Structure 1
């Protein structure tokens, strides 16, 4: 542990252990630990093996880091550990000759962003609905399902279609994606924690992780080959990437770049449906008045027919439910930035190279930021109430120029899934079973059995 701070005014998190600092608390009890640091101040020093890190808890400072002064920051250790395995993509710090970090990111993002055009996203609603319908055909009244597994399977199917289209290789992509996600913890977690060791091959989990990566890359390459032989336009993201160019030179993305982009999009997108949506149905079961309002809205808007893209803007309350789910249970519970120049954040003077940690989970549960933060209250997102919130008080999908590029696609897919399932089924909790969140790279609910009850809609 080494200190990189030049001012003694920043509090240090309590109960550090000799030699390892707070590493044990971060490993064994990360959610209560990071949330408890809200009380210590806007910037808190956390001791870990290697350079110390600084947790930023104040929305005004987060707004500077993520929005107004974003040029002074690069992605941090977490992204480096993941990106070194998947290859360069918009989530990484791209590098183009003669351009800064920020300029390189902006150049690349402008090339790939049209793949997430609202019209393309809307055109995928039917494919997402059909994937859900196929899964629901196997549900039976009174059946106890591991809803976390059911929604993970849906996440693989929906995102394979969203990013690679619905064709001969779709199932191969979905199966390969499932295999990669299964290797996330044994093969990727330690790479995120210790990116300087990420190139080593003789580490437990490495072989299976690399094989899973290769399998998904192969499936994406096969999709590219088929797509190039088919001139028909498709709304999936890969179709755009094959045509994407850099505005300043007209240069196209090469296949290596396209595969890296698609690979990371698939991996990241899975966790919206796979990790957040189980919490959505759990919260509906715990809050029957909320569930009733969701059902009433869905019944009124859909009137018994399948959900369509034009229905989604009318599902106002249902969308607020999803916002509240993501506030309390953000899959990306922590991320990082690294200073490129000396910066001052409040009383903290940090040199270039300082590692900054941001916890959406802790921020969203901070009573100084959100009133009654542990209460599940979708109406806190009503426009007249939400307007009182300062910028960067809600970071479920990031903020600023590096905000999640697929945020609208993720919300569209989650809203389509929730409307499709809730129009036909309600899910009940299993007595005596508690949700025990699993905190690794992403926040997931862990095993979550629920009981299927068919709805009788008048």
Structure 2
């Protein structure tokens, strides 16, 4: 189906709050028009894939016929050719080199970093204080990914810089990716903050890499895995920046929204607390506990469904037959996790927060391609298990000791960029 959009009205352009809200509203209505909807970005057609079935084709069955699309091209000059942005044989090579960093034994070591960081955060809270939970979760996510990447004193400086710069890079970078080319040349504060932040991050990462080269020893961190695999300084820098940007936003947002939803739903919160108490029995959480925290994982999956990325882009490498529609080589294709996760054909009453959707007797009813919080196929996020473990371990650690109560008269609103951010998330810390 073709839905022509006048160039001046295309809702991807611009980034005022009102237009950002329109993006979600616009893409979420497209499945009503068919499985593939042709849009126009000015004179150029863009194909919106609006069904789980064809999403699975694009991301999995026909995945090798696609590469990353136009939105990702605009990131490459700034964050390099890391795993999220690279294509073809180079992407496959890099993924294979990085895979050992996410094997089970390494995940167990990272789980200890996660538990320790979450415990330190828990210990810093005081009964009755109001915390900015969104900021706490952002800081926690930076700490966890940073400590998994870097284990030296200089690495601590890189983590400090990441706290300062990484969210500027993520949010201002998305604005650039969704705006016309000329916008990045404008002398406006957002552009200046982005340019300064990416320069600082690139500089400190290269400094840490050169420090590692001088020592030349396996320190058991992610950076050691990359360099011992034979990556050049530039390749390792790009992958580190990719892991920092890709490994922080999703988990920080998921954690913030999890505590928001628990605060709104005492029934869900009570089940989480009961399960944590039963499984842990007052001891620290370990990676072996994660499979037993079944309801916590249901809550996490529902948060990932409710608050996902807005969209992914792909470009056809060759002509592709997709659902009977012939897409030419070079066609730009959009998949919207947000639209898929809120499609009532896949999820009844999709705006309702319901962890029961992910109960063992219901989860198999979710169609393939309907739930893609980390992508799918050969481009699925390499750190998806890392992220899921991080969220569950943090929730279990904090919920074992605290209740987080919404602040009366402080409604939480959503700011939209690449994903759904809370405008603020104040919550009162109450001992259990």
Residue matched to 2:25: 32
* 1:159 partnered with 2:136: no
Structure 2 residue aligned with 1:107 = 93
Aligned to 1:97: none
Match of 2:66 among 73, 85, 90: 73
SS at match of 2:362: helix
Q: CA RMSD in A?
A: 2.3
- Is the counterpart of residue 324 in structure 1 residue 317 in structure 2? no
| Kept after mapping to 1: 8 A contact 2:142/2:159 | yes
Measured after TM superposition, the shift of residue 224 of structure 1 is 2.6
How many angstroms apart in 2 are the aligned matches of 1:322 and 1:234?
Answer: 32
Change (3 A) 1:242 1:219: same
Cα displacement string for residues 238-292 of structure 1 (whole angstroms, at most 9, x for unaligned residues): 1210111xxxxxxx21011001101111111111232121100011112211111
Cα deviation 1:268-320 (Å, max 9, x = unaligned): 11112321211000111122111111111111111111112222222111111
Where does residue 245 of structure 2 map in the other structure?
267
2:119 counterpart residue number: 133
1:183-227, Cα deviation, whole Å (9 max, x unpaired): 237742343124755885856533332322222223223333444
Larger deviation, residues 75-84 vs 230-239 = 230-239
Counterpart Cα distance in 1 of 2:302 and 2:171: 31
Tell me the equivalent position of 2:272.
Answer: 294
Question: Kindly tell me: are residues 228 and 298 of structure 1, through their superposed partners in 2, closer, same or farther at Cα, counting changes over 3 Å?
Answer: farther
Provide the rounded CA distance (Å) in 2 between the counterparts of 1:286 and 1:201: 42
Is residue 391 of structure 2 the alignment partner of residue 414 of structure 1?
A: yes
SS class of match (2:124): coil
Using the TM superposition, give the Cα deviation of residue 157 of structure 1 relative to its aligned residue in structure 2, in angstroms: 0.9
Q: In structure 1, how many angstroms separate the alpha carbons of the residues matched to 2:249 and 2:311?
A: 14
Bigger drift between 440-449 and 360-369 goes to 440-449
Aligned pairs for 1:392-411 (under 5 A) are 392-411=369-388
TM-fit CA distance, 1:392: 1.2
Q: Deviations over 1:58-105 (max 9, x none)?
A: 1111111111111211101221122221001111234xxxxxx2x332
Matched, 1:367 2:344: yes
What is aligned with 2:254? 276
SS at match of 1:453: strand
Q: Which residue of 2 aligns with 1:171?
A: 156
Distance in 1, matches of 2:310 and 2:371, equals 12
* Pairs within 5 Å for 1:50-449: 50-94=43-87, 101=88, 103-165=89-151, 167-184=152-169, 187-194=172-179, 196=181, 200=185, 204-228=189-213, 233-244=218-229, 252-330=230-308, 332-449=309-426
Q: 1:118–1:408: 8 Å Cα contact kept in structure 2? A: no
**TM-score (norm: length of structure 2):** 0.92
* Richer in helix (by share): 2
Partners of 2:20 and 2:162 lie apart in 1 by 26
Q: Could you tell me how far apart the structure 2 residues matched to 1:197 and 1:306 are?
A: 52
Distance 2:158 2:28 in 1: 37
- In the alignment, the residues of structure 1 paired with residue 168 and residue 31 of structure 2 have an alpha-carbon distance, to the nearest angstrom, of 33
Structure 2 counterpart of 1:21: 10
Structure 1 gaps of 5+ residues are 1-9, 95-100, 245-251
Q: For the Cα contact (< 8 Å) 1:46–1:54, is it kept in 2?
A: yes
C-alpha deviations, 1:322-381, integer Å up to 9, x for none? Answer: 111000011x22111111222232353321121111111110110111223222222222
State the TM-score, normalized to the length of structure 1.
0.87
Contact 1:157 1:171 in 2 (8 A): no
